[in-house]
Structure 1
C-alpha cells in the first residue's frame, strides 16, 4: 500500500457529544463534473430528452474495492426534467456501476492536507439473463437473454407485489463489494430488493428473498404518491432500502431502510429497520433502529450504513437541505450503533414495539459542523449526502489512520435552479481508535481485483 504523509489537523466540531474523544478530521475534498458522459456508450436520448450516458448521481452509493479502486452507484437515473408525471418523470435509464480510481496526494500549501483526484475508468450496465417485466418502454440495449434493468417506474407486473424479482424497475441506492472482489451486492428502493451482480459483466447472479409480509407493497403504481396511499403495509415508495453494509469478513449483509415501513409509522417516523442477510444461507433477521435525533427533536431518514466490525455500524442520517435544494443544510450526522445485544424484531410490528427493541446510538461525526469548520457554508454542503465507505489506511505523522469517504447524489443536475455548480463531490475524513469510543475497527479485505 502506498503510504502518504501529512500534518495532523484538528478541527473544532462544535458538538458536546464529540468532546469525550478526538474528532475525525476532514483531510480532502474532490469532485467529478456533473455534465460529463460516462463510458456506457448509451448516447441516445431518453424519453425525457436527456442523453443516456450522462454522468451523475454518483453518491447514491459508494464502495471501496481495494487499492485506489472504488465503485460508485447512480440511482434510477435523471428524472428532474418534467415530461410525464404519470411515471414520476422517470425514464428508461439503465442502472449501472461506475468504476473510479480515487487517489489522495499531499497538499503542503493547503487549505486541506490532501488533494483528491477522481477518474472514471469503467461503466457496467446491470442486466438479467431471465426475462423482466417492462411497461411500454423497453431499453433499446436489450438483446436475447440480456434484459436490462430500468429506472422507469412503470416497469412492473400488476399481478405481483413489489418484491417480484421479474420487475424490471430498479432504483439502486446501496452497494458493497464481495470479499473476492468479483461481485457486488446492491440494495434498491423499488422492491425493496437485495441483488448480487457480477462486477465485471453486470449480470444479476442472485436474489435475496425478503419477507413479503413485512416489506412488500401489494398495490403498485407508477406514481409514488398513489402507491403510498394505496398500501397499509410494506415499504414506503421511494423510501426503500437506501443503505447497505457488508461485514468485514464478507459473510453478512446489512440492509437499511430509508424510512420506517408503513406499518411502523411510515415516512417521518422513528422506528426504522435493519435487515441482516447471511450470504451463505440467505437467512434473514431484523433489528430496530431509532431515527430520532434528540438535539433536533425530530426523526431524520437514514441514507447509509457501514460496518465497523461484525456487530457495530456507522449510520448516516440527514435532512434534504443544502446545495442542490436551494436551501441551507441543517442535519448531516453519522451515528454509531451496536447490534450485538439487540433483539430480532422480525415478528414485531408497529413503532411502539420496535422502539422498545431499538439499541442506543452515539454520535460519531457531525458532518455539517466539520464542513463548516473547514469553510463550507451550509448552502454549499450537498443536500443529498448519501454515500459512505471506508478506504485504504494512510499514515499521519507516523501513525496509521483510517479513512472514511462520503459522496453526494447530485440528481444528475450539473447546475442548480439558481445556476450554482452542482458536481458529484467527495469528502474524506481520517480517524483512529480514539474516535471510535472503544469500538474495534476491522476494515474489509479483498482478494483478486478486476483489471481495468
Structure 2
C-alpha cells in the first residue's frame, strides 16, 4: 500500500471545506495598549522596568458574563521586553482578569460597520490562593525572591507570571506552584466564579469572581504534565519526553451552555505525540461537579497550533487555529481560521500516544478571519498575529435577521508599539451560517442578577474620593 499517496487523501478528507462569507464583520473596538488597568496597587515597576498594571494581553482569553459584560484574561504579563533570559524575561506580574463592558450600538451614519463598539474597563481583579504558594528564591538568577511585594501588604498569596515560581520536586501540575500563565477564561452559570486554563501546568482553576481567590483546582491527566521543570523554556523542553510543550499548554477553554462541562484544548501536540507526521492536539473534557476527565484528539490543518475553543452547544464547538504571522510578528497574516468540530462519538485517547489522527474529532472550516478582514479593507500585515480569544455575546438584529455576535480578540503581548492595541472584532453569525456546516447554537445561561461587585471596583471608587458612597454601601450591607 502506498502510504505517501494516502496521506494527502486523508488530509483532504479531514480539512476540505469552504469558508462561509456570509459571516460578516459587524464592528471593531479598541482599548489602548498604552493605558493602565484599575489595580493601582500593582502600578509599581516590574523587574523589567515596566509598570505592573499595564493594560495589555487582554485577548489571551475572553468570556461573556451576561448583558454587555465580558471577562478578559491577560497572560503571564510583559515578557517581550528583554531583561533576564534565565527566566525567559518573565516578571512578577500578578495574574488577573479584567471586567469590560462592551457597548454595541447601531451605526446610523450610513458608512463603516453596522455597529459601533465601545469597550470600557470597569474592574481589575487579582488572582490569589488562600493557601501558601511556592515562589522561586531567585538564587543563581540575579533576581530577588519571586514573591510579589504585594503579598506582604495584603497578606495574600498572589499568582504571578515569573517562570521560576515552582517546586522542582513535583510535576508541573502541582497546584501549589505560584506561576500562572492564564490563556482562557469562562464564567460559571451562577455568574459568581470564573474558570481559567493555563500553560505552565497545565492548570484549570476556578476563582471567585468578586475576590479573585482560587476556590477549586481540577486534577488534570498526568500525561499532560512534565516532570523536569526549568525557568527557561528551551531547557524545560529538552529535559522532557512526555507532557505539554513549554508555552504551549492549555491554550483554550470552553464551557457547555448548562455550565456542567469544561473542554480545554492544548495549543500543540504533547511531547509523546509530537513525532507523528500528522499533528494532533488533545481536548480535555472535565466534569465540573466530579472532576472526571476524558481526552479527545483534534488534528491540525496548518500545523501551527490552536488558541481557543468556544461552545456552540453541548457537543459542537468552534476552534481557533492560527499561525503566528501578522501585526506583532513583522509579517503578513496567513492562517487565522475557525473550525467547527463535533465530539459526538469521539474516542477517548487518554491511553494512546503518537499518531492520534485516526481517532480525531470531525472538523469543518467555518470562518477564514483573514479573508473577511481583507474584504473589509484590513491589510494582512495589520491583522494581529495572535488572534486568541473567542466568546459569543448578546444577539442582535441585522437587516431583520437574528444574529449571534462572536467576539474575537488579540493578545498584543503588552507591546502596543509592535503588536498594536487591544482589539475586539465582532462577527455576525446567523443560524443559516451555522446550518451550512451542520451546527446549531445554544447560548450559555448565566445568572447575571446574582453577580457580586468586583472588589477592585470599590478600590477605584475610594481612589476617586467617593468615600461617603462606599461607607453608606458598607453600612447598608452590614445592616442586612
Partner of 2:319: 315
Task: Compute the displacement of 1:30 (Å).
Answer: 1.1
Q: Hey, what's the Cα distance between the residues in 2 that align with 1:256 and 1:400?
A: 30
Post-superposition CA distance 1:184-211 (Å, at most 9, x none)? 0000000000000001100000000012
Post-superposition CA distance 1:290-313 (Å, at most 9, x none)? 01x2xxxx4120000001011101
Q: Does 1:94 align with 2:94?
A: yes
Partner of 2:191: 181
Q: Hey, what's the Cα distance between the residues in 2 that align with 1:45 and 1:431?
A: 42
Task: Compute the displacement of 1:138 (Å).
Answer: 1.1
Counterpart mapping for 1:28-427 below 5 A? 28-41=27-40, 42-109=42-109, 110-135=111-136, 136-143=145-152, 146-212=156-222, 214-265=223-274, 270-291=279-300, 293=301, 298-351=302-355, 354-416=356-418, 422-427=420-425
Closer, same or farther: CA 339–16 of 1 in aligned 2, 3 Å: closer
Partner of 2:472: none
Q: Hey, what's the Cα distance between the residues in 2 that align with 1:277 and 1:343?
A: 15
Task: Compute the displacement of 1:347 (Å).
Answer: 1.2
Question: What are structure 1's unaligned runs of at least 5 residues?
Answer: 1-14
Task: Compute the displacement of 1:255 (Å).
Answer: 0.3
Task: Compute the displacement of 1:24 (Å).
Answer: 1.0
Superposition TM-score, scaled by structure 1 size: 0.92
State the SS of the aligned residue for 2:282. Answer: strand
On the 8 A contact 1:58/1:408 being kept in 2, the answer is yes
Post-superposition CA distance 1:308-327 (Å, at most 9, x none)? 01110100000001011111
Task: Compute the displacement of 1:449 (Å).
Answer: 2.9
Partner of 1:3: none
Closer, same or farther: CA 267–66 of 1 in aligned 2, 3 Å: farther
Q: Hey, what's the Cα distance between the residues in 2 that align with 1:439 and 1:256?
A: 20
Closer, same or farther: CA 105–266 of 1 in aligned 2, 3 Å: farther
Q: Hey, what's the Cα distance between the residues in 1 that align with 2:277 and 2:308?
A: 17
On the 8 A contact 2:21/2:372 being kept in 1, the answer is no
Post-superposition CA distance 1:156-195 (Å, at most 9, x none)? 0111110101100000001000001110000000000000
Post-superposition CA distance 1:26-59 (Å, at most 9, x none)? 0100110001010011111011000101100000
Partner of 1:439: 439
Q: 1:429 aligns with which of 403, 427, 430?
A: 427
State the SS of the aligned residue for 2:71. Answer: strand
How many equivalent residue pairs? 425
Task: Compute the displacement of 1:266 (Å).
Answer: 6.6
On the 8 A contact 2:283/2:295 being kept in 1, the answer is yes
Post-superposition CA distance 1:80-131 (Å, at most 9, x none)? 1111000000000001010000111121332111111000000000000100
On the 8 A contact 1:236/1:267 being kept in 2, the answer is no
On the 8 A contact 2:343/2:362 being kept in 1, the answer is no
Q: Hey, what's the Cα distance between the residues in 2 that align with 1:45 and 1:362?
A: 46
Structure number with bigger Rg? 2
Q: Hey, what's the Cα distance between the residues in 2 that align with 1:432 and 1:426?
A: 19
State the SS of the aligned residue for 1:197. Answer: strand
Question: What are structure 2's unaligned runs of at least 5 residues?
Answer: 1-14, 137-144, 458-480
State the SS of the aligned residue for 2:358. Answer: helix
- CA-based RMSD of the aligned residues comes to 1.6
State the SS of the aligned residue for 1:263. Answer: coil
On the 8 A contact 1:65/1:449 being kept in 2, the answer is no
Superposition TM-score, scaled by structure 2 size: 0.86
Q: Hey, what's the Cα distance between the residues in 1 that align with 2:278 and 2:360?
A: 14
On the 8 A contact 1:268/1:301 being kept in 2, the answer is no
Q: Hey, what's the Cα distance between the residues in 2 that align with 1:208 and 1:428?
A: 32
Partner of 1:11: none
State the SS of the aligned residue for 1:206. Answer: strand
Partner of 1:4: none
On the 8 A contact 2:61/2:72 being kept in 1, the answer is yes
Q: Hey, what's the Cα distance between the residues in 2 that align with 1:430 and 1:278?
A: 31
Task: Compute the displacement of 1:268 (Å).
Answer: 9.4
On the 8 A contact 1:260/1:267 being kept in 2, the answer is no
Task: Compute the displacement of 1:399 (Å).
Answer: 2.4
